A and B are shown apart, each in its own frame.
Chain A
C-alpha cells in the first residue's frame, strides 16, 4: 500500500482513504509514522467533543443525535466510537453503530468504531492518530465516544476540547461516590433519559457537587436531554458553544492545545523507550523474573540491577 497516495486521499477528504488510513494507524506503526508526517500539517481544523459516561447512559444515541444536529447546521461531522476488547480472546463486538444507523447515506458524516485492544483509559491506542486523520480529512466536528466508563477513565480530556459527562436519572447517592475522577473532567454535564423519574434529584445532586468545587473561572452547567427523541440537543450544542467561547476568550484553548501536544509526545516517547528497554533487558528479565518469583530478590532490587549494568557500560 502506498502511504503517500493514501495520505493524499485523506487530505482530499475521501472516505475510503480515510477508512483505510485508520486501519493503518490501528495496525502498522511504521506506516503510521509516515502517514502522520504527511497529514499532520492539515490538522487543527476540527473541534473535538468527547462523550463519556457509564455503560447504558445512552452515549451512542446522544452522539448520533448531536451528529445529526451539527449536520443540519451544515458542518461535516466525524464520529469515533470505542468499544472494549475482550481480554481473553482479543476479539470485540463494536455495537455503537446500532444506535447510529437510522438515516440516509450522508457524505458529510463519517462513523468509525474502534476496539480498545487492551488500552486502559477509555479509548484505544490508535484513537489519537485516528482523530488526526479525521481532522485532516476536513471534518469540522469530531464526536469521540469512549467505552462505558467507571471512575477513572479520564483520558478523553487529553484529546477533546469539550468533554461531555453523561449520566442518567436515578444515580442518586452514587454521584457522591463518583465525584472524583470522571465527574471532575466534565465541561458539560448531560443528564440523558431526562423523561425518567428522578431527573430533578439527579440534576440537583450534580449542581450541588459543582457548587462545592473549588472556585474556577468556568462553572459547567447541567443539560437535560432525551437523545432518543432529539430533545435538549439544541441547548446542549449551545452549551458546548459557550464552553468553546470560554476556551477561546481565556486563552485556555491554546493552553489546551499545548497540553494535548505535550501528553501526546510523552506518550510516544514512553512507548518507544519502554519497547527499547524491554527488548534490551531480554534474558536479564527472565533471570530477574525467576529470582522475584522465588523470593530471592524483591522486584525493585531486580529492576535496579538491570538498569545499573547499562549505566556502568556507558
Chain B
C-alpha cells in the first residue's frame, strides 16, 4: 500500500507567530506531502483530536512561547493514550538546548531549532515516518 505522507502542522500555546509553521507547511507540500494546517493557539487536546481525525503520519509542532516543557509532553501523552503511538512527533521553534533531552524522553523524535534547514527536516521526516 503506497500512500502519500500526511503531516499535521500545528501551533500550540499562546504565541501568535506562525511564519515558521507556514514555511514548514509549504516545504512539506513542495516535497509532495499532504499537510493539514490547524492555525494558531491550539490546545494539546485539539492537536490530538486533529491527528486522530485526519489519520496523519506526522505531527509537527511549532512553539515559540517557552511553554514547550509543559505542552509538548502533554500532546505526546494524549496521542499515546489514544493509541496513536506510531505517529512521528517533531518539534520546531525556540527551544533551549537544555530542554531537548526531556522532550525526547517524552517521545519527541527530533527538535529543530531556529535556523534549521527545511531539506534536512524533510529528509528526517521521510526516514523516520513509521507507517507508510
Q: Contacting A101 at CB < 8 Å: which of B6, B25, B39?
A: B39
The CB with the most chain B CB atoms within 10 A, among A86, A89, A101, is that of A101
Stretch in A13-21, A262-270, A277-285 touching the partner: A13-21
Central interface residue in B2, B25, B30, B54, by most chain A CB within 10 Å: B54
> By the criterion CB–CB under 8 Å, are B34 and A115 in contact?
yes
Q: Which residues of A contact B29 (CB under 8 A)?
A: 86, 89, 91-93
Contact among A31, A89, A99, A111 with B53 in the assembled complex (CB-CB below 8 Å): A111
Q: For the complex, is A253 an interface residue (Cβ under 8 Å from B)?
A: no
Please give the distance in Å from A4's CB to the nearest CB on chain B: 17
Are the C-beta atoms of A26 and B3 separated by less than 8 Å?
Answer: yes
Partner of B52, one of A19, A85, A117: A19
The answer to whether A101 and B3 touch across the interface, beta carbons within 8 angstroms, is no
B122 to chain A, nearest CB (A): 11
B contact residues around A92 at 8 Å (CB): 29, 34-35
- Nearest CB of B to A102, in Å: 9
Distance in Å: Cβ of A268 to nearest Cβ of chain B: 20
Interface check B106, CB cutoff 8 A: no
Instruction: Name which residue of chain B comes closest to A96, CB basis.
Output: B36
B34 in contact with A91 (CB, 8 Å):
yes
Q: How far is the CA of A175 from the CA of B103 in the complex (A)?
A: 54
Q: Is the interface of A mostly helix, strand, loop or mixed?
A: mixed
Binary interface profile of A, 73-93, with partner B (CB < 8 Å = 1, else 0)? 000000000000110011111
Determine if B32 and A105 form an interchain contact, defined as CB atoms under 8 angstroms apart: no
CA A86 to CA B1, docked complex, whole Å: 22
Contacts A20-B55, A97-B38, A105-B45 given; indicate if A91 touches B28 (C-beta within 8 A): yes
Q: Which residue of A lies closest to B5 (CB)?
A: A91
Please, which residues of chain A bring their CB within 8 A of the CB of B55?
Answer: 19-20, 22-23
Closest Cβ neighbor of A26 among chain B residues: B3
- Given the known interface contacts A93-B37, A105-B45, A105-B46, the answer about A27 and B1 at a Cβ–Cβ threshold of 8 Å is yes
**CB pair A94 B53 closer than 8 Å:** no
- The yes or no answer to B117 lying at the interface (CB within 8 A) is no
Contact status A98-B38, CB under 8 Å:
yes
Chain A count of residues within 8 A CB distance of the other chain: 31
Q: Is the CB of A112 closer than 8 A to any CB of chain B?
A: yes
The reply to whether B38 and A27 contact each other, CB–CB distance below 8 Å, is no
| Bound-state Cα–Cα, A79 to B91, Å | 28
* A98: chain B residues within 8 A (beta carbon): 37-39
- Is B49 engaged at the interface, CB distance under 8 Å to the other chain? yes
Give the distance in Å from the alpha carbon of A112 to the alpha carbon of B25 in the complex.
Answer: 18
Chain B contacts with A in 1-47, Cβ cutoff 8 A: 1-4, 6, 25-26, 28-39, 42, 45-46
Q: A24 CB to closest chain B CB, in angstroms?
A: 8
For chain A, residues 93 to 131, give those with C-beta under 8 angstroms from any C-beta of chain B: 93-95, 97-99, 101, 104-105, 110-113, 115, 117
Residues of A within 8 A of B50 (CB): 97, 101, 111
A–B complex contacts, Cβ < 8 Å, 21 sampled: A19-B55, A23-B6, A27-B3, A27-B4, A31-B1, A89-B30, A89-B31, A89-B32, A90-B32, A91-B28, A92-B29, A93-B35, A94-B35, A95-B37, A97-B54, A101-B50, A110-B53, A111-B50, A111-B53, A113-B54, A117-B4
8 pairs of A and B residues whose beta carbons are closest in the complex: A98-B39, A91-B29, A19-B55, A27-B3, A90-B32, A23-B55, A94-B36, A91-B32
User: Could you tell me which B residues sit within 8 Å of A by CB distance?
Assistant: 1-4, 6, 25-26, 28-39, 42, 45-46, 49-50, 52-55, 82-84
- List residues of chain A with CB under 8 Å of any chain B CB: 15-16, 19-20, 22-23, 26-28, 31, 85-86, 89-95, 97-99, 101, 104-105, 110-113, 115, 117
Given A93-B35, A99-B39: 17 more A-B contacts, CB < 8 Å:
A16-B82, A19-B52, A19-B54, A23-B55, A27-B3, A91-B34, A91-B35, A93-B25, A93-B29, A97-B36, A97-B38, A97-B54, A98-B37, A98-B39, A101-B42, A101-B46, A105-B49
